[in-house]
Amino acid sequence: MDVLEGLNEKIRKRFKTPKLSNSNFAKICKHASLAWCRCILIKLASITPLPESMDSTNQPAPLSNGLLLYVDLQPDELLISSPDGPAQFKGLDMNWFETLNRIKNIPIKQTSEENLETAVTLMKSTYNFYRESSCGTFPSGINLYTVTPSHVPIEGLPQAPPVIETLDLSIPRKLLLWVYTLVHGRYSNISSVVKYCDEMKV
């Protein structure tokens, strides 16, 4: 992660130099940014608690308005989101694919205590990625949505169905919102998350 972040920083500095801003260097920039994005994504998936690991006293924490944040990944779409197409990934170790494939409509709650320090460090890197991700084609297949849980049923009245809203955000913003929720254990809108990171200088 640190190596990729440092590499992207060096590439961005060179990319601002006119003599070096050619098509080949632009391609290198896109590959490096995509690699950084995928590294963050795999790290997030690896520290996101699965439903079977959630006990009844440690459920995803809603905001005061009752919203819960869910994540759903489509690894097949992630595979083909390369500047060079899916052929680039032939022979790739599929362990990371399995890590991503388990994230299917998962409610995001605070990560485990043993992973909390990792999550805080990851939030810093994700925030840097969000600020610096001006180049690159990022993978599709990363879906976030909020759910308003059904209210406690009232006797004699039908229970209202949950309200689901898909979040239409850029990939860097989705990753930042995901890691923020893992760290803090509660959902907040992306504007508040960005403001928090700006003020805390994450």
Residue ranges per structural domain of the chain? 2-200
Is the pLDDT reported for residue 30 higher than 60? yes
Buried b / exposed e over 108-127, threshold 16 CB at 10 Å, is bbbbeeebeebbebbbebbb
Confidence at 176, pLDDT banded by 50, 70, 90: very high
Residue 32 CA to residue 134 CA, distance in Å, equals 12
Q: Which region among 1-15, 20-34, 101-115 has the lowest average model confidence (pLDDT)?
A: 1-15
Three-class SS of residue 127? Answer: helix
pLDDT on residue 140: 83
Q: Is 14 exposed, middle or buried (0-12, 13-18, 19+ CB in 10 A)?
A: middle
Going by their DSSP bridges, the two strands 106-107 and 142-148 should be labelled as unpaired
Task: Please give the average per-residue pLDDT across 122-135, as a whole number.
Answer: 87
H/E element holding 150? none
Q: Quick check: 36 and 4 in contact, CB under 8 A?
A: yes
The per-residue pLDDT for range 55-107, each reduced to its tens digit, is 544 555 555 457 899 999 998 887 665 555 544 444 445 677 888 899 999 99
Confidence at 160, pLDDT banded by 50, 70, 90: low
Task: Please give the average per-residue pLDDT across 157-161, as a whole number.
Answer: 60
Residue 80 CA to residue 178 CA, distance in Å, equals 22
Is the pLDDT reported for residue 18 higher than 50? no
> Across all residues in the chain, what is the average pLDDT?
77
pLDDT on residue 90: 45
Is the pLDDT reported for residue 120 higher than 60? yes
Q: Which two tokens stand for residue 100?
A: 């991503």
Q: Is 136 exposed, middle or buried (0-12, 13-18, 19+ CB in 10 A)?
A: buried
The per-residue pLDDT for range 177-193, each reduced to its tens digit, is 999 999 999 999 999 99
Instruction: List the end-to-end C-alpha distance of the chain, in Å, as a whole number.
Output: 16
